[in-house]
């Protein structure tokens, strides 16, 4: 299917600081945000999930704290983010409330989107928020992120979020309307690239050198985001953000560059679970549980007979049917130690046994792939 906003069911929209906050004064561009909110309402009205990854916290906060425009120390940036994020979230809340849409704030670090422990939490919380009809507004948790656990740029954060949430489209609203063979700011005749199907070394060369000052948030991070998204079955588009209704403009055919993925998010996620991760252990299940899995259900602790190996929550494990062969793989919601304590028990007994309210499923069906399901 042709990638487009109309065809996507779950879209992540990434919004750069320059669109939201005046680079000189840090003042919020409320008129622009209002147009964006209309666009988001139109997508929501068509039954589509929308997630916003928004920058702007530092740009807005630095003005309120009276910090200088030029290079800030890490702790000053973090202070600016803390001050700006609350204003940013409030601005989204008011703009979307005018359309009867609730927002929910999520602040993530690099670690939260890694494929373990916290990844499962972030994914199921955001899924719950979407199913409740809200628009998650996501940013990096700049205030606590140290250099080692920072993304440092929201293009890559947005791609991680898109992949984590199995989105089928990532829209990067930018100050350029796509990818060009040469930098269009310096070469008026630079040739525009309408579609990219594979990130070749030539495409990477067009993005420029990672060492240039404009690299952060420039094309280099956008191409890195495209690589990540495309491999996970998510299309990406770079489009001009500085127009009144940027998503309407995109739907109306405004110039942009589409990065087209040949996979689907579901197939890519299944293949990632099935082959990219080394299983750390095995869950041996009974026939009843196996029949439930074949009907598309989740694996509950009650259906597990034995736990083999040492693993942590979020690790990949193999699934073996009692007296049989390996039948699938999944991301497990409990550590091996906790899993051993709850096997054979009803989900409602988990809290009493473990002393905390864990997930009802040992492996949620979204995190599970059966051998039968593999292949294209
Ligand atoms: N997280 C930063 C902020 O909200 C922005 C990072 C970026 O724009 O890439 O200010």
For residue range 297-330, list pLDDT tens digits in order: 999 999 999 999 999 998 999 999 998 888 899 9
In a domain, 4, yes or no: no
Tokens standing for residue 108:
């993530």
In a domain, 127, yes or no: yes
CA of 78 to the centre of ligand 1 (A): 11
Look at residues 212, 246, 268 and tell me which one is the last residue of a structural domain. Answer: 268
Same domain, 74 and 160: yes
Q: Which residues contact 274 (CB under 8 A, 6 or more apart)?
A: 329, 369, 374
What is the C-alpha to C-alpha distance for residues 310 and 261, in angstroms, rounded to an integer?
36
The chain-wide mean pLDDT, for the chain, equals 90
Domain at 205, CATH number: 3.40.1160.10
CA of 152 to the centre of ligand 1 (A): 7
DSSP conformation class of 316: E
pLDDT for 283:
97
In a domain, 2, yes or no: no
DSSP conformation class of 298: P
In a domain, 164, yes or no: yes
Token pair 């039968």 in the structure block, residue: 372
Look at residues 268, 298, 329 and tell me which one is the last residue of a structural domain. Answer: 268
Same domain, 263 and 314: no
In a domain, 238, yes or no: yes
pLDDT higher than threshold 80 for residue 372: no
Same domain, 18 and 134: yes
Confidence tier at 117 by pLDDT (50, 70, 90): low
Same domain, 25 and 151: yes
Instruction: Give the pLDDT mean for 129-143.
Output: 95
CA of 70 to the centre of ligand 1 (A): 15
Q: Give the binding-site residues of ligand 1, using a 6 Å CB cut-off.
A: 16-17, 55-59, 81, 139-140, 142, 153-154, 217
Same domain, 15 and 99: yes
Domain count, the chain: 2
What is the C-alpha to C-alpha distance for residues 330 and 319, in angstroms, rounded to an integer?
8
In a domain, 5, yes or no: no
Same domain, 205 and 179: yes
In a domain, 338, yes or no: yes
Q: Which residues contact 82 (CB under 8 A, 6 or more apart)?
A: 57, 61, 142, 143
More reliable by pLDDT, 201 or 276: 201
302: containing domain: 277-374
Same domain, 211 and 353: no
Same domain, 245 and 325: no
DSSP H helices, the chain, are: 17-20, 30-45, 57-64, 74-97, 118-131, 154-164, 201-207, 219-231, 246-251, 265-271, 287-294, 336-342, 350-354
Say if residues 279 and 57 touch (Cβ distance below 8 Å).
no
pLDDT for 209:
57
Asked whether the CA dihedral 3, 260, 48, 5 is positive or negative, the reply is negative
Same domain, 23 and 155: yes
Say if residues 265 and 187 touch (Cβ distance below 8 Å).
no
What is the end-to-end Cα distance of the chain in Å, rounded?
A: 16
Say if residues 139 and 113 touch (Cβ distance below 8 Å).
no
Same domain, 161 and 58: yes
CA of 56 to the centre of ligand 1 (A): 6
Same domain, 260 and 281: no
Domain at 343, CATH number: 2.30.130.10
Look at residues 238, 268, 298 and tell me which one is the last residue of a structural domain. Answer: 268
Candidate from 98-102, 142-146, 160-164 with smallest mean pLDDT: 142-146
pLDDT for 186:
78
In a domain, 208, yes or no: yes
Instruction: Choose one of 83, 142, 143 to mutate for the ligand 1 pocket test, by most ligand atoms within 8 angstroms of C-beta.
Output: 142
CA of 141 to the centre of ligand 1 (A): 10
Ligand 1: residue whose CA is nearest its atom 9? 153
Q: What is this structure's pTM? A: 0.86
Same domain, 213 and 145: yes
Instruction: Give the pLDDT mean for 278-300.
Output: 95
């Amino acid at each position: 299917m042709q990638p487009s906003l109309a065809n996507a069911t779950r879209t992540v929209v990434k919004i750069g600081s320059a669109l939201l906050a005046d680079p000189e004064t840090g003042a919020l561009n409320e008129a622009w945000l209002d147009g964006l909110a209309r666009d988001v309402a139109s997508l929501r009205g068509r039954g589509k999930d929308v997630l916003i990854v928004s920058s702007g916290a530092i740009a807005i906060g630095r003005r309120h704290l009276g910090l200088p425009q030029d290079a800030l120390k890490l702790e000053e940036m973090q202070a600016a983010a803390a001050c700006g994020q609350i204003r940013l979230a409030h601005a989204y809340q008011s703009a979307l409330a005018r359309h009867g849409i609730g927002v929910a704030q999520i602040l993530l670090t690099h670690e939260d989107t890694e494929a373990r422990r916290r990844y499962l939490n972030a994914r199921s919380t955001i899924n719950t928020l979407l199913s409740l009809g809200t628009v998650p507004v996501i940013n990096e948790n700049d205030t606590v992120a140290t250099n080692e656990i920072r993304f440092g740029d929201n293009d890559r954060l947005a791609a991680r979020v898109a992949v984590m949430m199995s989105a089928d489209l990532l829209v990067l609203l930018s100050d350029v309307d796509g990818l060009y063979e040469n930098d269009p700011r310096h070469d008026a005749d630079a040739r525009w690239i309408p579609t990219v199907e594979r990130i070749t070394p030539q495409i990477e060369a067009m993005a420029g050198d990672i060492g240039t000052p404009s690299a952060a948030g420039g094309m280099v991070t956008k191409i890195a985001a495209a690589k990540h998204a495309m491999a996970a079955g998510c299309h990406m588009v770079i489009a001009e953000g500085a127009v009144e209704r940027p998503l309407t403009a995109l739907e109306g055919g405004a110039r942009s560059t589409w990065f087209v993925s040949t996979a689907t998010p579901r197939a890519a996620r299944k293949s990632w679970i099935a082959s990219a991760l080394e299983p750390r252990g095995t869950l041996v299940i009974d026939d009843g549980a196996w029949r439930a899995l074949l009907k598309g259900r989740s694996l509950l602790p009650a259906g597990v007979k034995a736990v083999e190996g040492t693993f942590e929550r979020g690790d990949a494990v193999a699934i073996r049917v009692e007296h049989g062969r390996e039948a699938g793989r999944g991301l497990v919601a409990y550590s091996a130690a906790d899993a051993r304590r709850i096997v054979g028990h009803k989900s409602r007994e988990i809290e009493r046994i473990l002393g905390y309210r864990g997930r009802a499923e040992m492996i949620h069906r979204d995190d599970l792939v059966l051998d039968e399901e593999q292949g294209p």
